[in-house]
Amino acid sequence: MIMEKKTEQEKTTSRTGKGVLCRIAGPVVFAKGLPARMYDVVRVGKEKLMGEVIQIREEELVIQVYEDTSGIQPGEPVENTGKTLSVELGPGLLTSIYDGIQRPLPSLQKQMGDFILRGAEAPGLDPKKKWAFKPLKKKGDKVKEGEFLGDVEETPGFKHKIMVPVGMEGTITEINSGSFTVDEPVVILDKNKEITMKQYWPVRKPRKVTKKLAPYRPLVTGQRVFDVFFPVAKGGAAAIPGPFGAGKTVSQQQLAKWSDADIIVYIGCGERGNEMTEVLTEFPHLQDPKTGKPLMNRTVLIANTSNMPVAAREASVYTGVTIAEYFRDMGYHVALMADSTSRWAEAMREISSRLEEMPGEEGYPAYLATRLAEFYERAAIVTPLGTTQEGSVTIIGAVSPPGGDFSEPVTQNTLRVTKTFWALDAKLAQRRHFPSINWLTSYSLYLDTLETWYAKEVSADWRQLIDIMMSILQEEEKLMEIVQLVGSDALPERQQVTLEVARLIREFILQQNAFHEVDTYCSLKKSYALMTTILHFNTLAKAALDNGVRAKKILETKSRNAIAKAKFEQDYEKLLKQVKKEMDEEFNGL
């Protein structure tokens, strides 16, 4: 084991050295005379800009630079660090706001103001801050990779577990309790192996796990259209494509605010600055519904706006998912929001064209599908190394297809690897129907998987109610073509009632006000109560029709519209019970 490490160190030393720039093409530069391996991190030019080796052509290295390359010229030095692109992981991640390569933006702002200078460096974790380490092991214990050595209260009520790094094992000869910085050793193993609270993980390589598990429980989002019709499982992957103005960012922010994940990692990948500003100003003031404390206490934000260097945008997605895997390995459930993967794909396309690679469909690189699959495959519910606890990463990726065209390559390749598809519709957004999820084109392949969980935790007839409501909505779509030609009065009476029930489902279940203090979040219990009340009206209406009551009389009943009030009331149970009672009385009168 020691010999292997020595050899690895020798390899790293042999790769460090200096070469020179020979050609520059925007964020892609070419260097000669430098020993390197694929994905080594290098320092480019006199300002030591950070870059990564992405291609090796005989004596020439191709490097993507994570910063603006204007002003650098051939002949400037290039230095190999001998390391791969990695992130610093440890106490201090939560509440942080990073750029795409894990530089903390608040620290950089203090150093140089609102504009980040080239070559700026800052550690991902504060090296001076001390954290109170509480041991979970004792001297003489044997430990292996992934095991918990102790914990730190990183934010109020949140335990940050300190783990044995991958590739390390042994017997504890010393374990300390007290306050330490992330660089000070807290545990010493035999053969004098020191363990600090900080780890470095390569971002492009998925973390090893003991076992991958089948998803069995939903990520409860508090958004009715997602929870009821198109759920995503914890450890699953979902795509939310939609045209400009359809509500992708608001939908993702709602998921970040209200989903029942333990940790939120939000990646603003290539989004407009004003949208990212909203997130950065809103999140610190949001209250966590679970604890009543700020939501930022369990959130990591990665801000890489559209005017930031294009190569850093490509790296930001990997940085985010590696941080998510780190918290997953502590036994937490993590929700990762990537907004938007289209901008990430555009960054790949730009770099690919600079490399003069053969373009694929619409100019995207031929490996687009592979990269998307590799990213979404990192969503999983697992048994991590060194523990029997479960942890999961759920990935929700927004897609911004040009002109709302879902047949374009990024959307199509995303659909191949995600099991939940939330299709945003510009026409619904124009009609002020939010969330503007099109219930006819969206789908979830987790419905069957999660049926057992919903039956146990909510109600045995949950799935049955969803199937009934979906069939009503599908029937409405067919009838609307006739209605547009001849009007609803020309329809048979039973179909007139169907249209009314479909309206109730659309307005009272599918629509939700993100900015109303009560309706912004809807529990599964409340969703179920609304569903049963609407379908109670459906049952009474059909029974009345069978008894010869005219559809016009049924549609004149007033009690059903009172269901709308329940959406905005905390004490909805009492109100819905009253609504059902009034419905029964009205129909008995008919």
Output the domain CATH number for residue 512.
1.10.1140.10
Is the sign of the CA dihedral 297, 205, 187, 137 positive or negative?
positive
Same domain, yes or no: 572 and 491 = yes
SS3 582: helix
369: its two tokens: 């599908």
Going by their DSSP bridges, the two strands 237-241 and 420-421 should be labelled as parallel
Helix (H) or strand (E) holding 25: strand 17-25
Query: At 76, phi and psi to the nearest 5?
Result: -75, 155
Cα dihedral 160, 162, 166, 170 in deg (nearest 10): -160
The CA R_g of the chain, rounded to the nearest whole Å, is 28
Does 434 lie in the same domain as 306? Answer: yes
* Partners of residue 63 on adjacent β-strands: 29, 53
Q: Are residues 440 and 330 in the same domain?
A: yes
**Residue 416, burial from CB neighbour count under 10 angstroms (0-12, 13-18, 19+):** exposed
- The tokens describing 454, both together, are 């919903």
Helix (H) or strand (E) holding 381: strand 380-383
Residue 202 belongs to some domain of the structure = no
Report yes or no on 450 lying in a domain: no
Structure tokens at 260: 């029942």
What's the CA gap between 27 and 17, in Å, rounded?
A: 22
Q: d(Cα 229, Cα 198) in Å, to the nearest integer?
A: 42
**Residues 182 and 283 placed together within one structural domain of the fold:** no
Residue where one domain finishes, among candidates 197, 232, 254: 197
Question: Does residue 108 sit within a domain?
Answer: no
In a domain, 205, yes or no: no
**Residue 590 structure tokens:** 């008919």
- Per the structure, how many domains does the chain have? 4
Sign of CA dihedral 167, 173, 178, 182: negative
Q: How far apart are CA 586 and CA 135, in angstroms?
A: 66
Are the C-beta atoms of 171 and 189 separated by less than 8 Å?
yes
Q: Give the C-alpha distances (Å, rounded to integers) separating 473 from 226, 422, 470, 495, 505.
A: 16, 16, 5, 12, 8
**Residue 344 belongs to a domain:** yes
- Hunting for tokens 């490996």 — which residue is that? 367
* 344 and 223 within one domain: yes
Quick one: 526 and 571 in the same domain? yes
pLDDT of residue 13: 42
Q: Are residues 397 and 543 in the same domain?
A: no
- Domain containing 414 equals 211-444
What's 519's DSSP letter? Answer: T
User: Does residue 113 form part of some domain?
Assistant: no
Same domain, 183 and 132: yes
- Give the pLDDT confidence score for residue 12 in this predicted structure: 45
Answer yes or no: do 431 and 468 share one domain. Answer: no
**Do 211 and 391 form a contact (C-beta atoms < 8 A)?**
no
3-state secondary structure of 24: strand
Residue 175 sits in a domain of what CATH number? Answer: 2.40.50.100
- Answer yes or no: do 569 and 480 share one domain: yes
Q: What does the pLDDT profile of the chain (590 residues) look like in tens digits?
A: 333 344 344 444 445 578 999 999 989 999 999 989 999 999 999 999 999 999 998 889 999 999 889 889 999 999 999 899 999 999 999 999 999 889 998 888 888 877 777 878 889 999 999 999 999 999 999 999 999 999 999 999 899 999 999 989 999 999 999 999 999 999 999 888 999 999 999 999 999 999 999 999 999 999 999 999 999 999 999 999 998 888 888 898 889 888 999 999 999 888 777 777 777 777 777 777 777 788 888 999 998 887 778 888 889 999 999 999 999 999 999 999 998 899 999 999 999 998 888 999 999 999 999 999 999 999 999 999 988 899 999 999 999 998 888 999 999 999 999 999 999 999 999 999 999 999 999 999 999 999 999 999 999 999 999 999 999 999 999 999 888 888 888 889 999 999 999 999 999 999 999 889 899 999 999 999 999 999 999 999 999 999 999 999 999 999 999 999 999 999 999 999 999 999 999 999 88
Domain boundary among 197, 228, 251: 197
Spatial distance between the Cα atoms of 352 and 24, rounded to a whole number of angstroms: 14
* Cβ partners under 8 Å of residue 278, min gap 6: 249, 253
Q: Decide if 292 is inside a domain.
A: yes
Domain boundary among 197, 227, 259: 197
CATH of the domain at 315: 3.40.50.300
CA distance 123 to 214: 37
Question: Do residue 477 and residue 440 come from a single domain?
Answer: no
Query: What CATH number corresponds to the domain at position 8?
Result: 2.40.30.20
Cβ atoms of 19 and 77 within 8 Å: the answer is yes
- Does residue 331 sit in the same domain as residue 436? yes
- Cβ count near 585 (within 10 Å): 11
Question: What pTM, to 2 d.p., does this model score?
Answer: 0.92
Residue 472 falls inside a structural domain: yes
